[in-house]
């Protein structure tokens, strides 16, 4: 064999090299695509992370807490009083709020001072009614009120398909006392897909599957703090990491 000559075997190897390179690129691309799809699926249907930006849920949740929210829990049970939920703010749906469920559909709610009464039959004689037990509620500013009028109302009934929610930090919370009831969602005549702040409406035979055309306003139930950063001191709140949300 003369110097510099190329055998047939060498030629075959050179021909296969671009194929192997293309195959490797394709495998990486497919792996990345699958990972992205799985991440989107988990975020949309299983669990989603949120950060607490305000003190309206103190002391249950502090500014800088990073929480996990279950997206599927309400497939298996109804919303219960006391649940801490993340939802689309009714007046600006691009904003996410987090509050505690106080009133369920059909409940008659009465807010008086620091107490909440559910289905009290003698609103004129509150000493005959038992207030809702709320060990999570705090009143840090004695002169504060809800973030908007009225801070107190006459008894009101929560409409069907709606909820009444309040922040745990009762004197510093823009909640149902201000903007009213949280509607669970709306039945549409088409399929609505949401990607973060983007909405895509698609024609769909909703008569065959009405659940697919339900636009839920409730993102899910908060269940755990996975990270907490105290921006005032620039330090981690180690004791809060991994704690459940009650």
- Read off the pLDDT of residues 27-37 as tens digits, 9 standing for 90 and up: 888 788 888 87
> Structural domain tally of the chain?
2
Q: Across all residues in the chain, what is the average pLDDT? A: 86
Q: How confident is the model at residue 11, as a pLDDT?
A: 47
Return the closest-CA partner of residue 93 out of 183, 210, 221, 172. Answer: 183
Q: Which tops the pLDDT comparison, 157 or 11?
A: 157
Alpha-carbon distance of 105 to 100, in angstroms, equals: 14
Q: How confident is the model at residue 24, as a pLDDT?
A: 80
Q: Are residues 80 and 174 in the same domain?
A: yes
Q: How confident is the model at residue 105, as a pLDDT?
A: 98
What is the average pLDDT across 138-149?
62
Q: How confident is the model at residue 140, as a pLDDT?
A: 83
Query: Looking at 13, 23, 51, 56, which residue is catalytic?
Result: 56
Q: How confident is the model at residue 1, as a pLDDT?
A: 46
Query: In degrees, to the nearest 5, what angle opens at C-alpha 74 toward C-alphas 48 and 80?
Result: 110
Q: Are residues 123 and 161 in the same domain?
A: yes
**What pTM, to 2 d.p., does this model score?**
0.82
Q: What's the pLDDT tens digit per position in 59-70?
A: 999 999 999 999
Q: Are residues 19 and 124 in the same domain?
A: no
Q: Are residues 107 and 120 in the same domain?
A: yes
Q: Are residues 8 and 123 in the same domain?
A: no
Q: How confident is the model at residue 69, as a pLDDT?
A: 97
**Hey, how many other C-beta atoms are within 10 angstroms of the C-beta on 177?**
24
Extended strands (E) in the chain: 47-51, 65-70, 84-88, 96-103, 108-112, 115-118, 156-157, 162-166, 182-183, 185-187, 191-195, 198-202, 214-216, 218-230, 235-236
Q: Is 211 a catalytic residue?
A: no
Q: Are residues 89 and 40 in the same domain?
A: no
Report yes or no on 126 lying in a domain: yes
Given a contact cutoff of 8 angstroms between Cβ atoms, the answer to whether 223 and 198 are in contact is no
163-to-19, 51, 98, 210 alpha-carbon distances in Å: 60, 23, 13, 22
Q: Are residues 35 and 76 in the same domain?
A: no
Q: Are residues 109 and 36 in the same domain?
A: no
Is the model's pLDDT at 242 over the cut of 50?
Answer: yes
Least confident of 132-141, 189-198, 220-229: 189-198
Q: Is 228 a catalytic residue?
A: no
Report yes or no on 245 lying in a domain: no
Q: Are residues 38 and 57 in the same domain?
A: no
Q: What is the extent of the structural domain holding 33?
A: 1-45
Which tokens belong to 213? 């055309």
Q: Are residues 30 and 134 in the same domain?
A: no
DSSP for 11-34? HHHHHHHHHHHHHHHHHHHHHHHH
The torsion angles phi and psi of 174, rounded to 5 degrees, stand at -90, 95
Q: Are residues 29 and 98 in the same domain?
A: no
What is the average pLDDT across 177-184?
94
Query: Looking at 70, 71, 99, 162, which residue is catalytic?
Result: 99
Report yes or no on 246 lying in a domain: no
Q: Which tops the pLDDT comparison, 60 or 12?
A: 60
Is the model's pLDDT at 26 over the cut of 80?
Answer: yes
Q: How confident is the model at residue 151, as a pLDDT?
A: 52
Q: Are residues 149 and 110 in the same domain?
A: yes
Percent of the chain whose pLDDT exceeds 70: 84
Given a contact cutoff of 8 angstroms between Cβ atoms, the answer to whether 101 and 239 are in contact is no
Q: Which tops the pLDDT comparison, 4 or 161?
A: 161
Return the closest-CA partner of residue 92 out of 186, 197, 222, 165. Answer: 197
Return the CATH number at 213.
Answer: 2.10.109.10
């Amino acid at each position: 064999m003369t110097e510099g000559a190329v055998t047939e075997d060498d030629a075959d190897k050179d021909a296969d090299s671009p194929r192997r390179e293309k195959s490797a690129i394709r495998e990486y691309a497919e792996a990345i695509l699958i990972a992205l799809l799985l991440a989107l699926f988990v975020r949309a249907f299983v669990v989603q992370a949120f950060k607490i930006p305000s003190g309206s849920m103190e002391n249950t949740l502090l500014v800088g807490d990073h929480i996990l929210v279950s997206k599927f829990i309400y497939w298996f049970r109804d919303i219960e009083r006391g649940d801490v939920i993340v939802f689309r703010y009714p007046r600006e749906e691009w904003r996410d709020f987090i509050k505690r469920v106080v009133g369920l559909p059909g409940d008659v709610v009465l807010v008086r001072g620091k107490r909440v009464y559910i289905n009290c039959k003698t609103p004129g004689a509150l000493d005959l009614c038992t207030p809702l037990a709320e060990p999570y509620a705090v009143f840090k500013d004695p002169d504060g009120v809800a973030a908007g009028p009225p801070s107190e109302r006459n008894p009101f009934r929560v409409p069907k398909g709606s909820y009444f929610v309040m922040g745990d930090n009762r004197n510093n919370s823009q909640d149902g006392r201000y903007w009213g009831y949280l509607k669970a969602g709306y039945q549409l005549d088409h399929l609505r897909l949401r990607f973060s702040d983007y909405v895509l409406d698609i024609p769909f035979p909703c008569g065959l599957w009405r659940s697919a055309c339900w636009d839920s306003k409730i993102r899910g139930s908060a269940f755990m703090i996975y990270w907490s950063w105290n921006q005032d001191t620039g330090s981690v709140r180690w004791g809060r990491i991994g704690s459940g949300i009650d």
